[in-house]
Amino acid sequence: MTRTPRAGLHATLPATAYSGREEWESDRERVFARAWQPLEPGQIPSQPGSAQPCVLLPGFLDEPLLLTRDAEGALHALSNACTHRGAMVCPDSVQARELRCPYHGRRFGLDGRFRGAPGFENTLDFPRAEDDLPRVAIEALGPLQMIALAPAQGAADWGAAASERFDALGWSAFRHDPAGERSFPLRANWALYVENYLEGFHVPFVHPELSRALDLSRYTTQAVAHGVLQVAEARDGEAAIEPPAGHPDHGRRVAAWYLWLFPNLMLNVYPWGLSLNVIEPRGPLESVVRYHRFLRDPRLLEQGAGAGLDQVEGEDQTVVESVQRGIRSRLWRGGVLSPQHEQGIARFHALWSEARRL
């Protein structure tokens, strides 16, 4: 039996929230199919007249997409399923003026618009609007390109907290660094990784090196639109960002901003730039964590809170997998969340519950 917390307190969720097949499948359609997701930088075609196939959240949504740049250089995200019989229009990356389905020769522009189809000459009421390749919403957020199949809210609304904090830093110009790419399997549910991210309570216990760079007495956590923001201030002598006048954190020596946007995007901004964490579900007890790096000042890479991230990320993965094992115990009954340190987790639970009801 799960303990009932006193009024005003938030409790951990039951273990089935992080292990049940039904819950996992509900998240696939109700949460992730409606969520904004970042494109991997290496997937984005750079040349006009090019197309690159990709899969959105492989092993989970498994949505086949096609990224294109038309002759004018505009970026498009399209369905890769032909509007005739569903074959993959573009199984491999190509340079071309138009797309031609290899199954029956149906042709599309690089913007997805239908151009022609052998065998349909003089067909009444053809083509229809449905014969264009469906377009997927694509929007920029700082240096990222975000896509969503059926977004629950507009990208500007969803990412407003990021724009408010990071636009003043010129983050749109941060340069992608392929050397910072990482991808690791995680033997745990995606939501447990998010919960670990949303509190600094564990930092002195799990991350001793990181703890020495932060002034934990001035660590703050707050709810923001569609997410949670944690602001870590630097100890004296450690690398920091001093936000300009008019910025919400003006007057603070910021070692790191840790911004989570629902459901699975984590934006970590340090003096050297942006570290992006994306947690991708694979199964009720399996996930993949992807890390991407965008540089502002590479000279600061090994200074302050943004140093030694491989070690910090490994420590997080180890403790999250430990939690997954622990909550499956027949004797675990759940607990109460700290009102002082774990309010970010309570915020996640509220957003998660709301998304599952929609």
Looking at residue 272, what DSSP letter applies?
Answer: T
CB contact at 8 A, 189 and 285: yes
User: pLDDT tens-digit profile of 292-328?
Assistant: 999 999 999 999 999 999 999 999 999 999 999 999 9
User: pLDDT tens-digit profile of 149-164?
Assistant: 999 999 999 999 999 9
By the 10 Å C-beta count (0-12 exposed, 13-18 middle, 19+ buried), 218 is classed as middle
Q: pLDDT tens for the chain, 358 residues: list them.
A: 344 555 568 999 999 999 999 999 999 999 999 999 999 988 999 999 999 999 999 999 999 999 999 999 999 999 999 999 999 999 999 999 999 999 999 999 999 999 999 999 999 999 999 999 999 999 999 999 999 999 999 999 999 999 999 999 999 999 999 999 999 999 999 999 999 999 999 999 999 999 999 999 999 999 999 999 999 999 999 999 999 999 999 999 999 999 999 999 999 999 999 999 999 999 999 999 999 999 999 999 999 999 999 999 999 999 999 999 999 999 999 999 999 999 999 999 999 999 988 7
CA gap 261, 227 in Å, rounded: 4
CB contact at 8 A, 297 and 271: yes
CB contact at 8 A, 352 and 263: yes
Query: Who's near 8: CB < 8 A, 6+ residues apart?
Result: 339
Which residues are 143's β-sheet partners?
none
User: pLDDT tens-digit profile of 86-129?
Assistant: 999 999 999 999 999 999 999 999 999 999 999 999 999 999 99
- pLDDT attached to residue 42: 87
Determine how β-strand 227-233 pairs with β-strand 220-224. Answer: antiparallel
- pLDDT attached to residue 204: 93
- pLDDT attached to residue 5: 52
CATH of region 159-357, choose from 3.90.380.10, 3.30.470.30, 3.30.420.40, 3.10.310.10: 3.90.380.10
3-state secondary structure of 341: coil
CB contact at 8 A, 27 and 262: no
Q: Which tokens go with 83? A: 């509007």
Q: Where are the domains of the chain?
A: 37-148, 159-357
Q: Which tokens go with 23? A: 């819950």
CATH superfamily of 37-148: Rieske [2Fe-2S] iron-sulphur domain (2.102.10.10)
Task: Please tell me the total number of residues recorded for the chain in this structure.
Answer: 358
CA gap 238, 212 in Å, rounded: 9
CA gap 104, 166 in Å, rounded: 48
Tell me how far apart the 2 most distant CA atoms of the chain are, in Å: 76
Please write down the HEC assignment for all residues of 62-93.
CEEEEEEECCCCCEEEEECECCCCCCECCCCC
Query: Who's near 217: CB < 8 A, 6+ residues apart?
Result: none
CB contact at 8 A, 114 and 126: no
The pTM is what?
0.94
- pLDDT attached to residue 101: 97
Nearest to 149 by CA among 27, 49, 267, 65: 65
